[in-house]
């Protein structure tokens, strides 16, 4: 199970997560997010990271032109779309795409068929925020055939990672707020504790 740590805003947190074993780091370019980072700042951080760590840019309802320009300038590896993006626009993006879906009771999973070539991330639905809620959704809603193919987000923490690993079995997990001391600032001890826990998980 891969681990993506999102909401990176500074080099100290980026290097801490990378050194402890994060497979991917996420940089949020949505200005209304509490974890927003300017692309030029993210670029400076990315330039100091290992080439083997995936750098993911999180965008909300941006244009393909804006996304491609940012991705090229700061050397992103993957684009994560967290808004109401449609399949036609995604084909114009030059990098691999993760498409986020915010899940709630009654979510229509047939929508995913329109995005078949992408990797899916499932997050918790909120009327106020596009992500980073720190809250879980009902994992029982996830169809069995999708569980080992998705990235799971939304309220994942050291307290439930074992349950995630054994019951949902996603290909990756995406964490942010549960490892913070404040929005945009990681808590060193929480990050260490989480990676220690995940490295010792057993089926």
Q: Establish whether 105 is a catalytic residue.
A: no
Q: Establish whether 108 is a catalytic residue.
A: no
**Residues 6, 13, 17, 174: which is the catalytic one?**
6
Taking only Cα atoms into account, the Rg of the chain, rounded to an integer number of angstroms, comes to: 16
Instruction: Name the token pair of 64.
Output: 């393909």
Q: How far is CA 79 from CA 11, 53, 107, 151, in A?
A: 20, 14, 23, 14
Work out the widest C-alpha separation in the chain, in whole angstroms: 44
Look-up: residue for tokens 């083997």? 52
**Residues 105, 123, 174, 187: which is the catalytic one?**
123
Looking at the annotation, which residues are catalytic?
6, 123
């Amino acid at each position: 199970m891969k681990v993506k740590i999102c909401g990176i805003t500074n080099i100290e947190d980026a290097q801490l997560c990378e050194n402890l074993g994060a497979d991917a780091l996420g940089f949020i370019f949505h200005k209304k997010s509490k974890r927003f980072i300017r692309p030029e700042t993210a670029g400076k951080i990315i330039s100091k990271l290992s080439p083997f760590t995936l750098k993911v840019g999180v965008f909300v309802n941006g244009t393909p032109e804006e996304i491609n320009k940012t991705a090229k300038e700061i050397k992103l590896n993957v684009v994560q779309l967290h808004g109401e993006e449609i399949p036609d626009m995604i084909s114009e993006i030059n990098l691999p795409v993760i498409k986020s879906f915010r899940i709630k009771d009654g979510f229509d999973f047939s929508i995913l068929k329109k995005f078949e070539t992408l990797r899916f991330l499932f997050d918790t639905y909120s009327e106020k925020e596009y992500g980073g809620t720190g809250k879980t959704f009902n994992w029982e809603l996830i169809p069995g055939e999708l569980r080992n193919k998705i990235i799971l987000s939304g309220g994942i923490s050291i307290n439930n990672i074992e349950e995630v690993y054994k019951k949902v079995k996603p290909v990756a997990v995406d964490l942010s707020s549960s490892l913070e001391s404040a929005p945009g600032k990681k808590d060193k001890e929480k990050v260490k504790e989480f990676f220690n826990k995940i490295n010792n998980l057993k089926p």
